[in-house]
Structure formats: structure tokens, C-alpha cells
Amino acid sequence: MGTPCHFALFELQPSFDLDLDQLATRYRELARGVHPDRFADASEREQRLALEQSASLNEAYQTLKSPPKRARYLLALNGGELPLEVTVHDPEFLLQQMELREELEDLQDSADLNGVAVFKRRLKAAQDELNQSFAACWNDAAQRERAERLMRRMQFLDKLTYEVRQLEERLDD
């Protein structure tokens, strides 16, 4: 785990609930401060420092703005890093995922843009619900297992969101 923590870079306390607009504004301000252009005339050491700061800032921002990445990061802060590549056995949820993928295939076959819009709304609602559940339990050591399961589910839904975007692009062409 790099120091200082991603949240500290933004002068925030570790928390799952974040104002993403505020985070983006703060990121732009901070990024300006360490932009390489500002250090064109500085010493080599200062330039290198600025570059490092810029990279950690970017990494922190990418992690914090994504709910599953933020969730995984919070769990790592609380009790050790969780592997990225794992096999999950979460039968009901996985069955649901499979059905959603099948639905998405059907939407692709029928080129149903309205259907895609409805699908997106349902997906967003499921993500909001998942985020709320995670926010309520991640900081409770007794619910660690549940928080991990919810984080993994977020990762699946994140990937599904990506698939939906891909489909939209294909249908737009």
C-alpha cells in the first residue's frame, strides 16, 4: 500500500460515500499544481518529484472515483489487500448475472435501443443498492465477509456496465 493513502491526498477521511463532482474538481486543482509544465524551469529533482506526485494523484483519483475500486481499496486499508483474480461462488448472484448477459445478447440481436435504455436503468438501480449496502457495512469488522462479497458483486456490475456501453456503441454505428 502506497503512502500517503489515496484519501489523504484529497484531504478526505476514508469513506465509501464520496461526492464525485467534488472529487473531480479537487483532482483538477491538485493536478494543476503538479503539472509538468509548471516545472519546466525547475531542477531535475523537482521535476521528478512533480512527476511522481502527478502519477500518485492520478492513481488515487482513478481508484476513488470507481465504486468497486474504492470498495476494494477501503477493504485493503481495513484488513489487507484482496487479490484481484479470484473465483467466486455466489450461485444466486451468478445465475442472475448470466441471465442479464443473456438479456443483453437478445437486445443486441434485436438492436433494441429502448430495451438497452431500460436495461441501463435497472443496472444503475442495482448498483445504487449495492453501493448503499456496502457503505453500511464495510467499516464493521464483523461484516467483513459480507462486505467482500458485495465488493465482488460491484466488480461484476461494473463489467456489465462496460458491456452495455460497448453494445450501445455497436448499435450506434
Instruction: List interacting residues with other proteins (CB under 8 A).
Output: 84-91, 94-95, 97-98, 101, 152-153, 155-156, 158-160, 162-163
Pick 30 or 164: Cβ nearer other proteins: 164
Joined together, the cell numbers standing for residue 141 give 469488522
Pick 94 or 171: Cβ nearer other proteins: 94
Pick 19 or 90: Cβ nearer other proteins: 90
Least distance to other proteins from the beta carbon of 141, Å?
22
Least distance to other proteins from the beta carbon of 148, Å?
10
What are the angstrom distances between the C-alpha of 1 and each of 5, 79, 123, 126? 8, 12, 32, 30
Least distance to other proteins from the beta carbon of 102, Å?
9
Pick 37 or 92: Cβ nearer other proteins: 92
Long-range contacts of 4-9 (CB under 8 A, 24+ apart): 5/77, 6/59, 6/60, 6/63, 6/64, 6/73, 7/60, 7/64, 9/56, 9/57, 9/60
Least distance to other proteins from the beta carbon of 110, Å?
18
CA distance 92 to 15: 29
Closest alpha carbon to 119 in 63, 168, 49, 82: 168
